[in-house]
């Protein structure tokens, strides 16, 4: 058997699809070229990241898009090589594609949203975000989902379309410290200036409370059962801010106990009116 006969040796034939030895060789070569191109893209983007010519998130998005493009072109070429009628397949599969499109529209939205997040850099790995009351640190951004670690060390998977469509708070984008507050109520008759001083001292003594801007205290209201105060303070420790608030509440409680100031609690006065005997 000559080399030409070996190349034209038919391995599979069904209708207009015809596989010969030469066709298989071409398919293997195309797959190898696609694999080499994808590895080349990976090396190029890795070098760009190391030289600070592009950020990691944008590089990841562009690399994935390039790889998907290479594989799509390779697949279309392979179908053409083996004799598969691409236009006929597309036309006959219109109903199937419509069904897949309707069923996968959320997935497609997540995919597009992932590209937007990675290219616009509205959120990057390491950012602290808040979405629907959930606060966590971003550990991974893929093309469809974003993985977030909460304060309880629970991994939460968020669809990318939720971040782009519903919005979220990116605490890390703050160039300065962020303001937080702690409320406390004391009983009527307390020395309000002494309460203000103690609250200010508690905030100033905490190492995670910023000294500039300075913490402040507001006498907020005459409540039903208490005099209401609010402690305003700034901090850059965004991820553990709830623990900082807890520390401040402990410190306030201890300071009030030493100063004989009572933290108020709801009270209800009941008046009993006696009437004459029947």
Q: Distance between CA 151 and CA 157 in Å, rounded?
A: 15
How confident is the model at residue 244, as a pLDDT? 93
Q: What is the mean pLDDT of residues 158-182?
A: 82
pLDDT computed for residue 3 by the predictor: 47
Query: Is residue 131 very low, low, confident or very high in pLDDT (cuts 50, 70, 90)?
Result: confident
Please give the order of strands across the beta sheet that includes 155-159.
155-159, 145-150, 134-141, 128-131, 169-170
Residue 215, judged by CB atoms within 10 A of its CB (0-12, 13-18, 19+), counts as buried
Residue 211: pLDDT over 80? yes
Give the pairing type, strands 134-141 and 145-150.
Answer: antiparallel
pLDDT tens per residue, range 246-268: 999 999 999 999 999 999 877 66
Residue 2 has pLDDT above 80, yes or no: no
What are the pLDDT digits (tens) for 104-118?
A: 677 778 877 877 777
- CA dist 74 and 65 (Å) reads 14
pLDDT exceeds 90 at position 274: no
Q: How confident is the model at residue 186 (pLDDT cuts 50, 70, 90)?
A: very high
CATH topology for the 178-258 domain: Alpha-Beta Plaits (3.30.70)
The tokens describing 178, both together, are 């962020």
**Cβ–Cβ < 8 Å for 245, 180:** yes
Residue with tokens 């594609």: 97
Q: Could you tell me whether strands 17-20 and 10-14 are parallel, antiparallel, or unpaired per DSSP bridges?
A: antiparallel
Architecture of domain 122-173: Roll (2.30)
- Are both 122-173 and 178-258 of the same fold? no
What are the domain boundaries of the chain?
8-92, 122-173, 178-258
pLDDT tens-digit series, residues 52-63: 666 666 677 677
CA 165 – CA 83 distance, rounded (Å)? 43
Instruction: Report yes or no: 180 and 237 within 8 Å, Cβ to Cβ.
Output: no
């Amino acid at each position: 058997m000559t080399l030409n006969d070996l190349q034209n040796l038919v391995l599979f034939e069904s209708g207009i699809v015809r596989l010969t030895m030469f066709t298989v060789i071409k398919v293997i070569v195309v797959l190898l070229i696609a694999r080499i191109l994808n590895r080349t893209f990976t090396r190029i983007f890795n070098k760009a990241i190391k030289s600070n010519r592009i950020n990691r998130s944008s590089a990841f998005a562009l690399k994935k898009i390039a790889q998907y493009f290479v594989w799509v072109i390779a697949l279309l070429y392979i179908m053409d090589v083996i004799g598969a009628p691409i236009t006929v397949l597309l036309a006959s599969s219109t109903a199937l594609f419509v069904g897949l499109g309707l069923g996968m529209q959320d997935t497609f939205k997540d995919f597009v949203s992932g590209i937007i997040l990675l290219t616009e850099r509205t959120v990057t790995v390491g950012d602290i975000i808040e979405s629907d009351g959930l606060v966590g640190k971003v550990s991974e951004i893929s093309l469809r989902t974003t993985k977030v670690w909460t304060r309880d060390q629970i991994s939460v998977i968020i669809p990318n379309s939720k971040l782009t469509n519903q919005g979220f708070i990116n605490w890390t984008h703050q160039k300065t410290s962020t303001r937080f507050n702690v409320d406390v109520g004391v009983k009527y008759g307390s020395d309000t200036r002494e309460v203000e001083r103690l609250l200010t001292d508690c905030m100033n003594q905490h190492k995670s409370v910023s000294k500039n801007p300075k913490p402040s205290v507001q006498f907020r209201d005459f409540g039903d059962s208490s005099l209401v105060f609010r402690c305003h303070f700034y901090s850059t420790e965004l991820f553990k801010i709830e623990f900082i608030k807890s520390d401040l509440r402990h410190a306030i409680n201890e300071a009030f106990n030493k100063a004989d100031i009572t933290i108020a609690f709801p009270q209800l006065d009941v008046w009993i009116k006696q009437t004459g005997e029947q």
